[in-house]
Chain A
Amino acid sequence: MVKYVLKRIALMIFVFFVILTMCFVLVKLLPLVDPVQFGKDMNLIKMRREALGYNKPILVQYGIFLKRSLLNNDWGISEALYRGQDVWQVFVSKMPATLMVNLYSLIFSVPLGLFLGIYSALKKNKWQDYVISTLIMLFISVPSYVYALLVQYLLCFKLKLFPLQMNSGTDYFTWSMFLSVIPAVLSLGFGSIASLARYTRAELSEVLTSDFMLLARTKGLTRAQATVRHALRNSMVPVFPMILGEFIGILSGSLIIEKLFGIPGIGQLYVNSITSLDYNFFMLLSAFYTLIGLAAGIVVDISYGFIDPRIRMGER
């Protein structure tokens, strides 16, 4: 087990470096903005570029980049979006908004998704199941921005329940702030509710028809007992890692929802960094997204082994 985990982590670091190198080289090939355009920041930008070795060969630059970014956590300064500010500082300041919205949406979607999945599995092939399955199908298929727009139009504009955009400012724990993020939370949540419910339903209905359930009933357990103690526990084996994966995924947030509801988060920062060609932000956020993706994959894989002792990781 330990060996397997170490192997996976080593592979992850390797992949991460390959991708980082790829991004670095490709970004370096792009033309830089002429420092004259920065006006009063011209000298600052020039000095930073000199310090980062922009005039040296690309390999040396890569060495400097790795040393600064990974060891000293210095990812350079923003050249277009937040001119002159430290990229890492801006990134950290954007984190709470993304985290908050995604955390709320998880808190509301995980129990609901599990509940709907379990309920429809228990009522399999009855009308309740058909209704839930149809809804799941709808919410999985329809793109998230379509129902985000729908939420915005119906709940925020027509019924005037919530503001159209998230409140600005950093007081994240006031009531009005909470109200203003609800539309975004809802739009983010529908998708994960649907996918979680579908997964749970499929797993649970498979477990419910298996032989050990029959045995549990024969030895005298009631249906409820058998379901809760045997079926649910077994069906959670693949479902739980999925929830865990989503917990890690909340860091990355959703690009679209953040744009639509004006959430000053990381997703919006990433989109803006691409459209305004701010390469330092782009490097940091690409590295961040890659790391999140890889870490989520590993945690999901390893968690199988922890949740279900019968699964031996790394066995052939």
Chain B
Amino acid sequence: MEYADIPKEKFEFYKREEEIRDKRLETKPVGYFKDAMMRFCRNKSSVIAACVLVCLVLFAVFVPIFCQTTYSSSPTDTNYLLYTKFLPKCKWFAWAGWDGCSKETLNASDYLSRRAIGVETGMDPIVKVYRENYEDPTSTVNTTYYDVKTDSYIKNGMIYLTLTPAEYESIQDWQNETGIQVIYPAVDNSGFLLDILKNNANIWYECTQKGAPKLDRDGNFIPLYKTTGNDGEYHSLRIQGDDGSYRYAVATGTSTAVSYKVRVFTYTYFQYRYGFEPSFLFGTNALGHDILTRLAGGARFSLLLALGISLINLVIGAIYGAIEGYYGGAIDLIMERFSDIMNGVPFIVVTSLFQLHLSQKVGVVPALLFAFVSTGWIGMASSTRMQFYRYKNQEYILAARTLGASDARLMFRHIFPNALGTLITSAVLVIPGVIYSESTLTYLGIVNLDSSTMTSIGSMLSAGQSQLTTYPHIILFPALFISLLMISFNLFGNGLRDAFNPSLRGTED
């Protein structure tokens, strides 16, 4: 039947009341970045690495803000030397050995002098005795040994301090307020011949001229406290067994400029000074710096430096590579030779030259930055150039050019987005490289970033190396941190590279 023969009434209006429109798409469009994101998420190890990375970055960002104490924020304090080499201590994990204690072998005389600290202050540095009073058959010295667990926070014991009257007064007031004994009675050390014994604040008992304690018949220490002399009207806590006759300070100087030499307990003096009991999550290093905040500060510096360098490299490399790749020909040849030459300079030579030259004038950090940037952009430039060569002769570029697009627009609007994926990947992979080189340079001492307020992971490691055998914790935490950072950065970067590489699309399944 012909179309024209159909009678008119057989026709119906289709959906007269409703609007006619296209069907809504049921799936969302997947763009380049979304696709990359999806493929990245499918790679489990990279996702885990990204999470670890976020944790480490958060550590570096927030620990210096929230874990800063009155102790770690006063790095020029001379008292730091009282609190060196404390072992890591965490009250929730004390059962796992994270308790600031270490195993030691002491000879009898050392053992007794450690015990004496406990007897005097009530805080025994010897937490546990594993094996007591045994003789070492290999030793020629006629002495017995003790295997003990010592608390590194207490074992330093007493120290002599010379205080001004105001400081002396303020400690006494604090003692009255809190009931914690800081100042312990002065010792009558006139009987000692050697200065080493006279200056040892831990000796409050009678001992031989070699410092070995003498015990009475019951095995107790024989106190040697001073009962005469001027102690500037001491009016505060007295130790147990004091009938009021002990003197708590030795006044020195003239009557107009008097100062007091007192014996203070380092542990409680710390409480007085900084307002909390000493307890360091990662311990302290050989100079008494808190490793936790110092590590976080160093890590934050490293990350910031790496991020900055990676961004600068990205910008310089992208522009340089874009010009090379887009114009080609003679420009490309000349620029390529230039980057060849720059590429030939060993990095270590550049850095040392920059350090020798610039660090005096502009400071160590800018000199380091220049050194990294001066050779770092080459990789970025060559990958941008490659992408430009690939895309610049395609039809859509020709179309845009026909429509009158300028060179700059063609370069950065039409070609550049194609190179973005690879560039982001290499920018991310630059970061661990920079952190690695920076820590290497500081470790070697070619670049010196270490000061009382700033440090880097490399200098922490090199400072701790001399204590590797006795205090491995000084190295452990920085080493652990940088290893984790490197592993997670590399895994993350590899994941990104695979995700942004379109040729791998669909091959993972």
Where the two chains meet, the residues of A that have a C-beta atom closer than 8 Å to any C-beta of B are 11-12, 15-16, 18-19, 22-23, 26-27, 29-30, 137-138, 140-143, 145-146, 149-150, 152-153, 157, 164, 255-256, 259-260, 270-271, 274-275, 277, 282, 286, 289-290, 293-294, 297
Contact = CB atoms under 8 A, between A and B. Distances in A.
B344 A142 contact: no
Interface in B398-432: 432
Interface string B347-378: 01100110111000000000000000000000
Given A26-B353, A142-B487, A290-B346, 7 more contacts: A15-B340, A26-B356, A146-B461, A149-B475, A150-B479, A274-B355, A297-B344
A26 B489 CA distance: 36
A67 B346 CA distance: 24
A12 B353 CA distance: 21
A153 B345 CA distance: 35
Given A143-B436, A277-B356, A256 B444 contact: yes
Contacts of A11: 340
A286 B349 contact: yes
B491 interface: yes
Contacts of A297: 344
A143 B341 CA distance: 28
B81 to A, nearest CB: 25
Contacts of B436: 143
B445 A15 contact: no
Interface stretch (B117-125, B183-191, B465-473): B465-473
Contacts of B440: 143, 145, 255-256
Contacts of B468: 149, 152-153, 157
A266 B357 CA distance: 23
B349 A259 contact: no
Nearest to B445: A275
Q: Which interface residue of B344, B432, B461 has the most chain A CB atoms within 10 A? A: B344
A283 B483 CA distance: 34
B348 A255 contact: yes
B141 to A, nearest CB: 22
B344 A290 contact: yes
B397 interface: no
Interface string B313-341: 00000000000000000000000000011
Contacts of A289: 346, 348-349
Contacts of A152: 468
Nearest to A144: B440
A149 B461 contact: yes
Contacts of A140: 490
Contacts of A16: 344
Interface string B468-500: 110010010001001100110111000000000
Contact of B443 (A19, A150, A256): A256
A149 B479 contact: yes
B352 A282 contact: yes
Contacts of B349: 19, 23, 286, 289-290
B346 A293 contact: yes
Nearest to A12: B344
Given A143-B482, A271-B445, A149 B344 contact: no
Contacts of B55: none
B439 A15 contact: no
B357 A29 contact: yes
The 10 closest A-B pairs by CB, nearest first: A141-B487, A141-B486, A15-B344, A141-B490, A289-B346, A142-B483, A286-B349, A274-B352, A146-B479, A157-B469
Contacts of A164: 469
A19 B345 contact: yes
B486 A142 contact: yes
Nearest to A292: B346
Interface in B433-466: 436, 439-440, 443-446, 461, 465
A29 B444 CA distance: 24
Contacts of B439: 143
A286 B344 CA distance: 12
Contacts of B487: 137-138, 141-142
A186 to B, nearest CB: 16
A58 B345 CA distance: 22
A271 B483 contact: no
A16 B341 CA distance: 8
Name which of A12, A29, A289 has the most chain B CB atoms within 10 A of its CB: A289
A288 B440 CA distance: 20
Nearest to B494: A137
B356 A274 contact: yes
A22 B472 CA distance: 43
Contacts of B489: 141
A164 B467 CA distance: 13
Given A19-B345, A26-B353, A149-B479, A271 B491 contact: no
Nearest to A22: B345
A14 to B, nearest CB: 8
8 contacts: A23-B353, A26-B356, A143-B483, A145-B440, A153-B472, A274-B356, A286-B346, A293-B344
Nearest to B470: A157
Contacts of A29: 357
A209 B490 CA distance: 26
Contacts of B357: 26, 29-30
A270 B344 contact: no
